[in-house]
Amino acid sequence: MPTMADERRDVIRILTIETTCDETAAAVVTDQLEVLGTVVASQDEFHQKFGGVVPEIASRAHLERILPVLDETLKKAGVKLSDIDAVSVANRPGLAGSLLIGVASAKALAFALGKPLIAVNHLQGHIYACRIAAIQKRQSEKQQPERDVFPCVGLIVSGGHTSLYRCRTPIDFELLGTTIDDAAGEAFDKVASMLGLSYPGGPSIQRASSAGNPNAYSFPRAMLNDSERLDFSFSGLKTAVRYKIAGTGKADFSQIRLSEQETADIAASFQEAAVDVLVGKSVQALRKTGMKTLCVGGGVAANARFREKMTQAAEKHGFQLHIAPISLCTDNAVMGAIAVERYRTGLFESLDLDAFPT
């Protein structure tokens, strides 16, 4: 029986690999940005008891999972390795040991198949998720192409990064501002841990917040008053929450008992402050650059309050907003479809490709 792959010989299929942090992921995508198959193996269960990602555990888990994930991805996509036209991997930025597993796997596959090897930037991939979603939406609604999402201001808001970029093209980014201490996702994870909520902290804080009052406590919104500077800071917010929970002395959070309502109110007030800063700095970046489109990606962009307040800001300030769909916010290999941009112009790598943590 002919497979889907046999019927569509004209299509370019790229096998994308993502192992920058703690998700082992692979996908088969086409040059038309169709997703033929995608698999994400999360490691949350391993990192849970530490309240954050442990690099050594992450790289070992990638090593154990990468081959089964690749097998399952090809199976889901209904293609054989011989149907693949190129292999791509996110080789920056990320945890050194984690990146190396993806890079070594991609190099081995590209060599064995005699196909081009493509390297992509994980952060650019988070923003590219917005283009993938916009194109898929148009294809499913059979609409004429509207304006592309690029050029845009890009906000990447994840566990390791909180940065604003001027994105001229999918692969030409200029940094406008970044966090000077914690990333927003890191703050969600640490505050969740102080509140005794499970890892990853973002979804737990969101759940707890639903029963809380976002105005119960007035937590700081750092950097919002300085519209010239597009940096972020979340450590003061984290410390303010710590003081609210445990006072200013040394704290053993396992001994602190908050009522359900107190937990919900602190979670909601923290979430509100973090979201206000992310929305406010993005609006300032749009104003400063004169750009009219904002694309947002990264795990924290899955947050419901963030999506709601950003949508309100877009209506109020009149900019085009593209937030990656929730399934493409946290790390995945579909966003590795950005490799298509490099495939088209022949931007291939040699087999001595390295991993770049920063």
The sheet with strand 320-323 has its strands ordered as 172-178, 162-169, 152-157, 293-297, 320-323
Whole-number Å distance between alpha carbons of 40 and 33: 18
Residue 156 DSSP label: E
Select 152 or 296, whichever has its Cβ closest to ligand KG4.
296
**Residues contributing to the site for ligand KG4 (CB under 6 A):** 21, 158-160, 185, 188-189, 200-203, 206, 298-300, 302-303, 330-331
- Among ligand KG4, Zn ion, none, the one that 302 touches (CB under a kind-dependent 5 to 8 A) is ligand KG4
CB of 50 to ligand KG4, least distance (A): 13
Alpha helical stretches, state H, the chain:
4-7, 44-47, 55-77, 96-113, 122-140, 184-194, 201-209, 235-246, 260-289, 304-317, 339-344
| Span near Zn ion by CB under 5 A; candidates 41-49, 74-82, 94-102, 150-158 | 150-158
| Span near Zn ion by CB under 5 A; candidates 59-67, 142-150, 179-187, 331-339 | 331-339
Q: In this chain, which of 98, 158, 282, 284 binds Zn ion, going by CB under 5 A?
A: 158
CB of 79 to ligand KG4, least distance (A): 26
CB of 341 to Zn ion, least distance (A): 18
CB of 282 to Zn ion, least distance (A): 18
The residue number with the shortest CB distance to ligand KG4 is 202
- Among Zn ion, ligand KG4, none, the one that 266 touches (CB under a kind-dependent 5 to 8 A) is none
Whole-number Å distance between alpha carbons of 329 and 157: 9
* 197-222 burial: b if 16+ Cβ within 10 Å, else e: bebbbbbbbbebbeebebebbebebb
Q: Which residues, 57 to 116, sit near Zn ion by CB under 5 A?
A: none
Phi, psi of 269 (to 5 degrees): -70, -40
**342, 118 Cβ separation under 8 angstroms:** yes
Where do contacts with Zn ion occur on this chain (CB under 5 A)? 158, 331
